[in-house]
Structure 1
Amino acid sequence: MSLLAAETDKRDLRRGACPALSAPMQTGDGLLARISFAEPIRPAQLWTICRLSKTHGNGVINISARGNLQVRGLTAETAGKFEGDIRSLNLPLREGLAVEVPPLAGLDPAEIADPRPLADAIRAGARGLEGLAPKTTVVVDGSGRMRLSKLLADIRLVAARLDDKVGWQILLGDTQAGSRVHGTFPAQQAVDEVLSLLQRLTSLGPTSRGRDLVTDAMPPCAMMEDGPSSLGLTLLEGDEAAVGIGLPFGQTTAMQLAPLCTEAETQHIRAVRPAFGHALILFGDRSACETILVFAGRSGFITESTDPRGMIAACPGSPSCASAAIDTHGLAHLALEHLEDLLDGSFNLHVTGCAKGCAHPQATSLALCGGGSDISFIVGKASDPSFASIPAAESANALRSIAALVRKERLKDETSAACIARLGREQLALSLTSGRT
């Protein structure tokens, strides 16, 4: 198979809708139900979800890139029972339009403004609005420490200081860095403007997204410095704190997660919420958060931003996902072994079982995508053309070749991401052809 990527025909792997609690999606290991929360829940409630995931499913739990809880292995017989049991818990379930706020919204001393009132107003105003694309997303970001700047959004509101007042900049399409500026408005006018934009999307048809509202006259968004990692301890007001805990490759089991919930209750952690980046955020006093952080580290969770496992985004892969062509977690562990010293925090490695790229929809410096018996090596999104395609059996050699090239060519003080970008697709491809016939 040729290495320097010719365009190849790919199946259209886009899904028309996301799985939901009331509409689970068929995957390789059964039905998958997604649970979205509008507010944090108690650790004891998360423990109950763990129990129900074993009773009705296979006990495997994912947290998506956007911070939604996903329970796997449900069946046609158990999916309805699972939904009924979940709804009987009276959890703060989020229904309807996806309006996202940062996990520390309303609690972050660094926030310019609390985004929750605007998010609530947009949800209420959009209730009953029909004709939007299933994955339409609005982000409302108060510009605190845990920003949602890297999440894809159709419409994004970002708090900004305007002299002695607060304004909300409305951005359209893509991540924050790739979006265009629609305008800056006071709070109520910003809500009205978002609802008007959503109405325009409905008039454009059910496949229209925020990028379809962009015009050439709209300036690009000014680059913002990324906030700190969501992992580890974050101090809030007074003695309050939050602690971020990551799931290796976005996945855990009820058997692993339930003891963390029990310990959180013991330490009087008052709340927990799934968060972006395949993480959990727990809230309590500083002492309790410090204790639970140590417990989580000993239990196999990711607790530090320097942990290389947190720099690899991997979907569930085969056989868990019916769309996946490879064992993504096996390949991720192989990448961890051969690329660990390259994972310096400058980029995320994306390992995906198909071109949908669910675990990391944005572009990355390097993505490994399964397709048949081959692994495609990609710079950018999983759906982009590959620069090389290698038989899966040769994955280890290919990873070693790329690691050796970067180690050899990396300049003093240059990050791995910068080095890979400078080398480019051709040189990366050549490193994989060496020694092959």
Structure 2
Amino acid sequence: MDRCPGSVEVHRAEDGGLARIRVPGGVLTRDSLVALTGLAAELGNGRIELTARGNLQLRGLAPGAEVELSARLAAHGLLPSVPHDRARNVLASPLSGRDGVGVLDVRPLVAELDRRLCADPELAALPGRFLFALDDGRGDVAGQRADVAVLALPDQRVALLLGGRDSGLRLPVRAAVTGLLASATAFLRRRADERMWRVAELPDGPLELVPDVRAALVAGLGGDAAGPLGGDPAGWLGGGPAVSVPDRDPRGPVGRIEQTDGRVALAASVPLGELTQSRCQVLAAVAEREVLLTPWRGVVLPDVAPPATELAARRLTGAGLLLDPASPSLGVSACTGRPGCAKALADVRADASGAAGRAAGTAVPPAEDVDGVRLPVHWSGCARRCGRPAGPAVDVVAEVGGYQVLRDGEAVYAGADLGAVRAAAAQARSSR
């Protein structure tokens, strides 16, 4: 059974109900953020958490509070379809259409995908872990290994990715959402049972879906080469060199980013993904119209007028958000830990909160990893390692009597001295 929480069906944790609110593409209006801040305080314990998929979590809900929560989310436009509550997992390049780096503005595609997904009753059965991604060509979210994704190409087409692998299928931009939805439908029809949640779990792997997706797309032409998808099937369903799927970006955007329209985007990392009430209030006060949530547990405030940038940055850093790309605290994450999780062996969020830089009394080595960025460090309360980022990372795993620090699956330290644990994790993330 898929126990992934939503806002209608919540998870009963040790500290109360946990509701996960899907935010397709990470696009949250300022008014929605204000509303969520109020809901978190009124119905929960006030905590809002960013997830590794650019979604939000509310914690500490009383039994039955999810009924009022879902009704009020719907009233604010945050729950357009109750049956599709858990299916709306959509990543998108956060800066798409703003900084001139990508080759395609994917924002209209995000809106189209969410609308068409919610209109298809069959797709309400998608597991809560199933993930869509739209990458504008810069390679930031393609590396998140979504179940189905499109990667924009310079030739005005998109490459369809399945389970983080190039399917070989190429589509015109106007057919990108059709390809994503056809892939999701093919997965639902191919999976052996409801316990199969990801395309990577298919018996023959993600590319098992290619024949079904190809057939669905060809059928969409209605036998007419000038049909709604346009062009010769041989031209848009294949051809061209194979796409090299980018590695996962371990950090995401951080700092001041110039937009092509002369305005500025401020990208901030949120320590441990914790949006406290005060942080939410600052974000709402600084945001022009939107707050963009990223899969790196960060936020982007776009469209800031240059004269307001310095004051906005000071307010964000004053709230504890990180705008310095060199900050040693970047890339440190943690699961819920105690007391929220009954399986956790330690309060990992408290232990991880001082795990980087001077806050821990530990000097972080200046050396960077071979890809030019320090490895992320994830603190886990037990061996399940919930919330761990995909790809290479340093793991700090609680065990009876202390922690074990692992890099590339190999233990580099084990013990109960928290200072030594932090030092070992800092060294492991920076050593080559």
TM-score, reference length from structure 2: 0.76
* SS of alignment partner, residue 129 of structure 1: helix
Q: Distance in 2 between matches of 1:260 and 1:124?
A: 27
Preserved contact between residue 142 and residue 245 of structure 2 (Cα < 8 Å): no
Which of these residues, 391, 403, 407, is aligned with residue 363 of structure 1?
391
Q: Distance in 1 between matches of 2:182 and 2:102?
A: 26
Q: Within 5 Å, which residues of 2 pair with 1:242-261?
A: 242-261=265-284
Change (3 A) 1:193 1:273: closer
Q: Deviations over 1:215-244 (max 9, x none)?
A: 59x998525488784222222232322211
**Bigger relative contact order (CA 8 A; separation at least 6):** 1
Q: Which residue of 2 aligns with 1:301?
A: 321
Displacement of 1:374 after TM fit? 4.1
What count of residue pairs does the alignment treat as equivalent? Answer: 378
Preserved contact between residue 154 and residue 173 of structure 1 (Cα < 8 Å): yes
Q: Distance in 2 between matches of 1:224 and 1:150?
A: 5
Matched to 2:326, the amino acid is T
Q: Within 5 Å, which residues of 2 pair with 1:13-24?
A: 16-24=2-10
Change (3 A) 1:188 1:310: same
- Alignment of 1:234 onto 2:257: yes
Fraction of identical pairs, as percent = 21
Which of these residues, 90, 100, 114, is aligned with residue 99 of structure 1?
90
Matched to 2:100, the amino acid is P
Which of these residues, 130, 136, 141, is aligned with residue 136 of structure 1?
130
Displacement of 1:63 after TM fit? 0.7
For structure 2, which runs of at least 5 residues remain unmatched after alignment? 211-240
Preserved contact between residue 112 and residue 177 of structure 2 (Cα < 8 Å): yes
Which of these residues, 350, 356, 376, is aligned with residue 348 of structure 1?
376
* SS of alignment partner, residue 185 of structure 1: strand
Q: Which residue of 2 aligns with 1:83?
A: 70
Q: Deviations over 1:82-109 (max 9, x none)?
A: 3333333334768434232222233342
Matched to 1:222, the amino acid is S
Q: Deviations over 1:187-206 (max 9, x none)?
A: 24444433332222112223
- Alignment of 1:320 onto 2:345: no
Matched to 2:277, the amino acid is A
Deviates more, 1:133-142 or 1:84-93: 84-93
Matched to 1:147, the amino acid is D
- Alignment of 1:154 onto 2:147: yes
Q: Which residue of 1 aligns with 2:180?
A: 194
- Alignment of 1:387 onto 2:411: yes
Displacement of 1:19 after TM fit? 1.8
Preserved contact between residue 37 and residue 92 of structure 1 (Cα < 8 Å): no
Q: Which residue of 2 aligns with 1:109?
A: 100
Q: Deviations over 1:328-362 (max 9, x none)?
A: 12332453223633684321111122344333331
Q: Distance in 1 between matches of 2:29 and 2:17?
A: 26
Q: Deviations over 1:141-196 (max 9, x none)?
A: 1124x82133230112100113xxx110112214xxxx344332222444443333
Matched to 1:136, the amino acid is F
Change (3 A) 1:356 1:151: farther
Q: Distance in 1 between matches of 2:161 and 2:62?
A: 41
Change (3 A) 1:124 1:397: closer
Matched to 2:136, the amino acid is G
- Alignment of 1:280 onto 2:299: yes
Q: Distance in 1 between matches of 2:297 and 2:394?
A: 19
Q: Which residue of 1 aligns with 2:168?
A: 182
* SS of alignment partner, residue 310 of structure 1: coil
Q: Distance in 2 between matches of 1:402 and 1:241?
A: 34
Q: Distance in 1 between matches of 2:309 and 2:336?
A: 29
Q: Distance in 2 between matches of 1:290 and 1:278?
A: 23
Q: Distance in 1 between matches of 2:170 and 2:159?
A: 4
Q: Distance in 2 between matches of 1:121 and 1:399?
A: 45
Matched to 2:11, the amino acid is M
* SS of alignment partner, residue 341 of structure 1: coil
Q: Distance in 2 between matches of 1:195 and 1:44?
A: 30
